[in-house]
Amino acid sequence: DTAVSQTPKYLVTQMGNDKSIKCEQNLGHDTMYWYKQDSKKFLKIMFSYNNKELIINETVPNRFSPKSPDKAHLNLHINSLELGDSAVYFCASRAKAEYNSPLHFGNGTRLTVT
Amino acid sequence: EDQVTQSPEALRLQEGESSSLNCSYTVSGLRGLFWYRQDPGKGPEFLFTLYSAGEEKEKERLKATLTKKESFLHITAPKPEDSATYLCAAGGSNYKLTFGKGTLLTVNP
């Protein structure tokens, strides 16, 4: 019974294409996140939504657009993909947008742009 | 800007050889210090949260401690199944968790 699930697990595409990654959590959490993990394994926050409202929007190219249709779902759409977008993208959720509750992560989507 | 630095980057131990991983942090208004374990091809798995200096938490062979500037993850008599990347993250006075780059632990039988 997966708590935070992402699809697809692998995504291989060519430069210039548009792609989406989907995330769903069944933990009843209010807050969801997108993190990017680069080739050096460094996890960096991209976006966060709390009850469908965008609360964190880091310095990320405008080609990346998150969408939260409801508090259990957070999708990531990427336009005009570039080689540098290749990375593993992790979705995570948290009980509340509180400072001290842990994040629960999905197993990631490995994006390869050729 | 919040910063988290982990050392060493990689650590190789023999089974049963105890050691410690270090996490130094500079965070405005620390609200929580988190430790995660990440296995290859998986997302980070939550281990501990520490809230204040002097606090300690234990889980099996792992013990996490916190000072005002650092956290340590002590591994006692490790087994090969403890091999993973261990990530430290600090939660400051915002909704973000700032992660370190992790320590890749390998435990040889």
Query: What is the interface size between A and B, counted as CB pairs within 8 Å?
Result: 62
Q: Are A93 and A33 in contact (CB under 8 A)?
A: yes
Q: Do B46 and A103 touch (CB under 8 A)?
A: yes
Instruction: Tell me: cis bond preceding A69? Omega within 30 of 0 counts.
Output: no
DSSP A26-84: -S--SEEEEEEE-TT--EEEEEEEETTEEEEE-S--TTEEEEEEETTEEEEEE-S--GG
**Whole-number Cα distances in Å, A43 to A37, A87, B81:** 4, 10, 23
Q: Is B63 exposed, middle or buried (0-12, 13-18, 19+ CB in 10 A)?
A: middle
Token pair recorded at residue B42: 């998986």
As given in the structure block, the two tokens for residue A57 are 């929007």
CB of A92 within 8 Å of a chain B CB? The answer is yes
Test A103 with B97 for CB contact under 8 angstroms: yes
- pLDDT at residue A98 is higher than 80: no
| β-bridge partners, B85 | B38, B104
Name which residue leads in pLDDT, B95 or A21. A21
In this complex, the residue of A4, A45, A102 whose CB is nearest that of residue B49 is: A102
A103 in contact with B at a CB cutoff of 8 Å? yes
In angstroms, the CA A61 to CA B5 distance is 26
The predicted structure's pLDDT at residue B93? 74
Strand partners, B10: B104
As a whole number of angstroms, the distance between CA A98 and CA A94 comes to 8
Rounded to whole angstroms, how far apart are CA atoms A45 and A33? Answer: 7
Mean model confidence pLDDT for chain A:
91
> CB distance from A95 to chain B under 8 Å?
no
Burial string for A79-114 (b: 16+ CB within 10 Å, else e) reads: eebeeebbbbbbbbbbeebebebbbbbbbbbbbebe
The per-residue b/e assignment along A41-54, b for 16 or more CB within 10 angstroms, e otherwise, is: eebebbbbbbeeee
Burial of residue A1 (CB within 10 Å: 0-12, 13-18, 19+) is exposed
pLDDT per residue over A37-83, tens digit each? 988 878 999 998 888 888 888 888 999 999 999 989 999 999 999 99
Q: How confident is the model at residue B44 (pLDDT cuts 50, 70, 90)?
A: very high
- A102 and chain B: CB distance < 8 Å anywhere? yes
Q: Do B99 and A40 touch (CB under 8 A)?
A: no
A102 pLDDT above the threshold of 90: no
- Closest Cα to residue A34, out of A96, A94, A81? A94
CB contact under 8 A, A4 and B43: yes
Residue B60: band (very low, low, confident or very high) from pLDDT cuts 50, 70, 90: very high
pLDDT at B31 over 90: no
Task: Please answer yes or no on whether A44 and B102 come within 8 Å at the CB atom.
Answer: no
* Structure confidence by residue, pLDDT tens digits, B62-104: 999 999 999 999 999 999 999 999 999 998 877 678 899 999 9
Q: Test A104 with B97 for CB contact under 8 angstroms.
A: no
Q: Which of B44, B94, B98 sits opposite A105 (nearest CB)?
A: B44
